[in-house]
Structure 1
């Protein structure tokens, strides 16, 4: 069975034999449709690091390849390339537990930042450098205009910060990227005629962590926020396509294509991924330029904060490191590319049904369907109809077995257990008050009286009494034996004065 894809609309077609007339005709027509539009344009020149950003890009290259998780770099916030000090905790990491190590790192980094600020304060007073740290500060900040005032500004505006290295994390990201990068490149190049360089953006956004979820609510390898994501894909309690690498890649391509059309340059279109299209357009108008270098490396008022100012430079650094991965990580092995088939479900189905019909292990199914919520995986809801299910292609021949609706056999009510002298029933999913009453030949009123219920709502797992307690003789439901006896006795009473 051969899987063909229409790159114009993303649809897949299955052919039983490659040389069948229908399959050959389909393949030929797809080639004609995609034609010249599928040939990618060369964008390399537009993603070459500008000379004015080289020092900043080099800083991020070092963070990605030189410094690891146990090393911190103390640097200038506005000019990251200005490095004041470095702290190496590799030796302590070998003997301390994670909690103790983290505490040590925080204390030491805080102490070193305080030392830098103390030296900046002295230099800001016009004093001559008197130690190695102060001499390094003077040397590193020599290109920044302003004399002693620049040192005072660094202290006043809290411009000294630390950055932890991510060498190990970046290596892992490159390894993970092997799974989906060929698919991502195909979507960007073949379907949207976008530059291949843009497909490296997830290295900066999520480190190609397919289950990434940020503290502010961004999700997936492209880190879409819910509001933006809903413009392009499904985001609800059952399906979150931000976590689907294929669907979110389609969304990212559409976003970047639109951003570039509005902004006009790739450097600022990429910056908008962090700062927003409207925000970038506003800054372009305010500063009267679309040149990324003059906007980022200005010595005056800055249009962007730290994250947005470094978004494009860190992207360029990631692009360079990936292209030189065999130099920086010579022993790195990339995960093999996925071979998956996509199938749009015509009906809602349970995970257990898919697993049974395809003969696939649930963990294998889960590993290529990140968009499905835990609620569905736990069996509390079904995969909705219309969802594009991903399966390893070796299971594709069994897809026909999912073509019909799932047959659900209603389980018989479990036998009642005798507790408290009567029969009980545990409420199950889908049960209603009237339904349970009917199962046990009771009226809803009788069932409510037996259980002292005031409303009609039942909870899953709730235990209901469904049979009258035996007392040696038949009694009325919900009435004690003594009360029943009293009702059967005929009594009269004459109303007295004052009653």
Structure 2
């Protein structure tokens, strides 16, 4: 089979309700898997190195992913609910599915399942304005909190309940140790809390999840070898709202902060915010969780770090001397986390239970159909209007599948930058595959983030960066629209006008063909996505200067697909062993698929006794 469905062939997410299509899909996947075909990891954002069209079937999502992992109805043991945490998890199941937006659940902060009272504002919501309703809600919660404190003080004195409400509090707290002191602890430590229900919003989240869940499952399970359960995290993070922006600046269904997004290679510029591109952000989330798991050792802790940070969690578990998530979360007087972090993993477990049986919690709920799109990486900057005219796609339709693009792109102020992976509705996939891009104008280059880029590091200045890339400071400022010479660490700068290759978008080769073409000859190398002169020189045991001299390069800029001459004496060509440096997001599974070598072969060659890797670790890859 020369061209299997893989990220290097076609990036199409489709779904068919036809029984025949479903049967054919299962047959094709059974053939691929039985023939040993692996869904290899593509370059960043699923884009191939030569700008070709990519495709995946939605059948590689929910249904067939479940078939592949062989336990379609059983939860991964790592995500079973510990007995100690069951009441807490049930509380969040109720918040998500039982209590609505006009309910206020007044509960014990440290033991959320202990509910003092539930206030219902649905009647008032029918006649009050939003502002009046919110004022009324706050006043009633304050009044109820005072009533609860009064009851707790009475009970803390050792006296018997005076009324049914105080008896209710006694019953609710009967399972807690501490005698009468447990009542005192609540009002002295301000442990009375109000939680708004989100039943309506969560139902919408279940509906929206159908649009993208197949993408998440394919990326996590087939590309990164991660547990399928992790793909339910956006229910907690964003309610699967792909347009979401938080008040603190997090964005997209995975709610990446700008700095974290850039750390995981998501572009966040004035033109593009890849945190809102579901595919790109999902790959970044998979890499983050892989890193967190390798550092923390358990999935519950890795998930908690999504809210609290890896180093924050690591510090806390070291202080407590345990990695048992139930012991960490159910501590009271020395609880290491705030309320949000303490309850983040229990909320995730609640989301798992609801997703496994949505009809039980939301009768009649219907998920949106999988979004059907074709994707292709642009090799030149182009305006939205030009794409619309070339493909015959209304701009509004393009906008609806490209949430990563800023409003200035749709207004025509900026073009879509080179390197962006464009999404189009599936019915335009043929037009997208044959689309020819116009030559970029000088204005387009200046106003958009296109061409090769450089991320500013500590100690950099515009002068140093310009000199390093063989351009003038004036050109560097012009390409990036800079008015001053100031740059900040982490800032991404355009350092070249991009490739001068043909504007025709070529179809991609198969994964096997692409891999075999990397080393074109014994003294040549074809540049791949993510390569730099430094990484190529290191892999072939030569220097950047030697590579530049051999290829008459005046700067360090290279383009994907470019064929470089290797200096005499360079090593690591076709047929020889490669040396690979482990990067963020890598796992032994990912590396083995990238190089087409078994995990066991890599482990044997490097004397590894486990599959654990560390960033920066050098691996010899047998040929």
> Among residues 90, 102, 122, which one is paired with 1:90 in the alignment?
122
Spell out the pairing of 1:144-159 with structure 2 (5 A cutoff). 144-159=176-191
Counterpart position of 2:431: 398
* Pair 1:12 & 2:9 matched: yes
Distance in 2, Cα, partners of 1:382 & 1:36: 31
Aligned pairs for 1:448-467 (under 5 A) are none
Query: In structure 1, what is the Cα distance between the partners aligned to 2:90 and 2:440?
Result: 60
> What are the within-5 Å matches in structure 2 for residues 262-277 of structure 1?
262-277=295-310
Q: Is residue 292 from structure 1 mapped to residue 325 from structure 2 by the alignment? A: yes
CA shift for structure 1 position 272: 0.8
Q: Is 1:329 equivalent to 2:329 in the alignment?
A: no
Query: Conserved in 1, the CA contact under 8 Å of 2:40 and 2:223?
Result: no
* 1:451 alignment counterpart: none
What corresponds to 1:227 in structure 2? 259
What TM-score, normalized to structure 1? 0.75
CA distance in 2, matches of 1:76, 1:12: 54
Which structure: larger Rg? 1
Q: CA deviation at 1:150?
A: 2.1
Contact 1:77 1:159 in 2 (8 A): yes
Aligned to 2:421: 388
The 3 A distance-change label for structure 1 pair 35 and 379 is closer
Indicate how the Cα distance of structure 1 residues 5 and 342 shifts in structure 2: closer, same or farther if over 3 A, else same.
farther
C-alpha distance in structure 2 between counterparts of 1:297 and 1:407, whole Å: 59
Alpha-carbon distance in structure 2 between the residues aligned to 1:59 and 1:220? 26
**Separation (CA, whole Å) in 2 of partners of 1:240 and 1:175:** 25
Query: Cα deviations across residues 222-242 of structure 1 (Å, max 9, x unaligned)?
Result: 111111111111111111111
The residue number in structure 2 matching 1:357 is 390
> Aligned pair in 2 of structure 1 residues 406, 359: CA closer, same or farther (>3 Å)?
farther
The one-character-per-residue Cα deviations of 1:446-491 (angstroms, maximum 9, x if unpaired) are xxxxxxxxxxxxxxxxxxxxxxxxxxxxxxxxxxxxxxxxxxxxxx
Q: How does 1:20-419 map to 2 (within 5 A)?
A: 32-34=36-38, 39-40=68-69, 44-232=76-264, 233-400=266-433, 402-406=435-439
Distance between the aligned counterparts of 2:426 and 2:305, measured in 1?
37
Query: Per-residue deviation at 1:409?
Result: 12
What SS does structure 1 have at the residue aligned with 2:96?
helix
Q: TM-score, normalized by length of structure 2? A: 0.60
* Residue 250 of structure 1, CA deviation: 0.4
- Per-residue CA deviation, residues 158-204 of structure 1 (Å, 9 max, x unaligned), is 11111111111111000001010011111111101111111000000
Tell me, in whole angstroms, the C-alpha distance in 1 between the residues paired with 2:430 and 2:216.
Answer: 25
1:259–1:269 Cα contact (<8 Å) kept: yes
Contact preservation (8 Å) 2:242, 2:253 = yes
> Size of the alignment, in residue pairs?
396
Q: Give distance in 1, aligned partners of 2:113 and 2:396.
A: 45
Give the secondary structure class of the aligned counterpart of 2:185: helix
Distance 2:313 2:11 in 1: 44
Cα distance in 1 between the residues matched to 2:383 and 2:242: 23
Cα RMSD between the aligned structures? Answer: 2.6
Name the SS of the counterpart of 2:168 in structure 1: helix
SS of alignment partner, residue 248 of structure 2: coil
Partner in structure 1 of residue 496 of structure 2: none
Larger RCO (alpha carbons 8 Å, 6+ apart)? 2
Residues in 2 aligned to 1:40 and 1:252: alpha-carbon distance in whole angstroms: 20
Q: Secondary structure at the match of 2:9?
A: strand
Contact 2:11–2:374 under 8 Å retained in 1: no
Unaligned runs of 5+ in 1: 16-23, 411-428, 430-499
**SS in structure 2 opposite 1:127?**
coil
Work out whether residues 11 and 376 of structure 2, in 8 Å CA contact, stay in contact via their aligned partners in 1: no
1:293 match: secondary structure: helix
